[in-house]
Amino acid sequence: MIENFIFTTSDHEDIAITAYLNESKFNGNAIIFVHGFKGFKDWGFVPYLGNYFADQGFLTITFNFSHNGIGQNLTEFTELEKFSKNTFSREIRELNEITDALKNDFLNINFNGNIAYLGHSRGGAISILTASSRNDIKCVALWASVSTLDRYTKRQKEQGRKKGFLEVVNTRTGQLMKLGISLLEDLEKNSNDKLNIKKAIENFKRPLLIVHGNLDMVVSIKEAEDLYKWADSSKTEFVKIYGTGHTFDIVHPFNGTNEKFEKVLSTTNNFFLKNLK
């Protein structure tokens, strides 16, 4: 089963969700995939991983954050005004609401199993920040995750405040995408608590998987090493994937898998099978 849903958030924003389920293999547990910055639920490897984990027995949920820039066109950024108003705190709230909706059987499948998060890039940060404040997320897997949300230089911040926005170029599409100052304000207000990844990792006393390509030029593997350093080593696995970068050699539009990405998938699947019981 691959089924699409629309979930309405507490502030009346619509979130597109895709649920992947192989009913003959379903083990009762669920994985929620959290996309990163300039990511979306239909990007590159995401539908492939949805089917992969469904075939391994997991209900797999993928979704678009309401302000990720994707609207009715599921593969292009057409909602740039919303994109400019996104914040980290909004994404944490939306992930919490989606998790609660799953537990309250939003999908109408009598779900009462365990839940894990799988986050890529910035989605890794949102995953661990959210999971650390809940006691019902059994484990978290981080793919190419950032270790800090403060990714802007002092000069970029100063210029952004003068202009009223930060400029980001989408290298895939060539689009100039703007980030509103509300993102910086959110970071400054909450950097010591709600948005502090180091504290979240230290407080997360449950199984954690960190997977990172050693040639990642977007998020340095040094950030993965920092995450591992902060984590409880007795409950944490750190796997380096050699010879690959931020998306494990997967591109968009998707043109097939590869040996390195299959290793990422099998490593993550083994982690979930062991810890989602």
Residue 120: φ, ψ to 5°: -110, 130
Q: Assign 221 to helix, strand or coil.
A: helix
CA 229 to chain centre: 21
Residue 214, pLDDT > 90, answer yes
Q: Which domains does the chain have, with CATH numbers?
A: 2-149+191-275 (3.40.50.1820)
Mean local confidence (pLDDT), 94-118: 97
pLDDT band of 255, cuts 50, 70, 90: very high
- pLDDT at position 274, please? 98
Average pLDDT across the chain, whole number: 97
Supply the DSSP symbol for 33. E
pLDDT band of 13, cuts 50, 70, 90: very high
Q: Residues 6 or more apart from 125 whose CB is under 8 A from it?
A: 88, 119, 145, 146, 147, 149, 197
* pLDDT tens digits along 172-212: 888 999 999 999 999 999 999 999 999 999 999 999 999 99
* pLDDT tens digits along 78-99: 999 999 999 999 999 999 999 9
pTM: 0.98
137, 196, 200, 272, 273 from 133: Cα distances, Å: 9, 12, 8, 20, 23
The CA distance from 30 to 150, in Å, is 31
pLDDT band of 70, cuts 50, 70, 90: very high
**Helix pair angle (122-131, 88-103), 10° resolution:** 60
The CA distance from 226 to 269, in Å, is 23
**Helix pair angle (46-55, 259-275), 10° resolution:** 50
The CA distance from 224 to 71, in Å, is 32
In the numeric block, which tokens belong to residue 18?
């895709």
CB 61 within 8 A of CB 19: yes
Classify each residue of 82-99 as buried b or exposed e, where b means 16 or more C-beta atoms within 10 Å of its C-beta.
Answer: bbbebbbbbbbebbebbb
The one-letter code for the residue type at 8 is: T
Among 170, 193, 12, 7, which Cα is nearest to 83's? Answer: 170
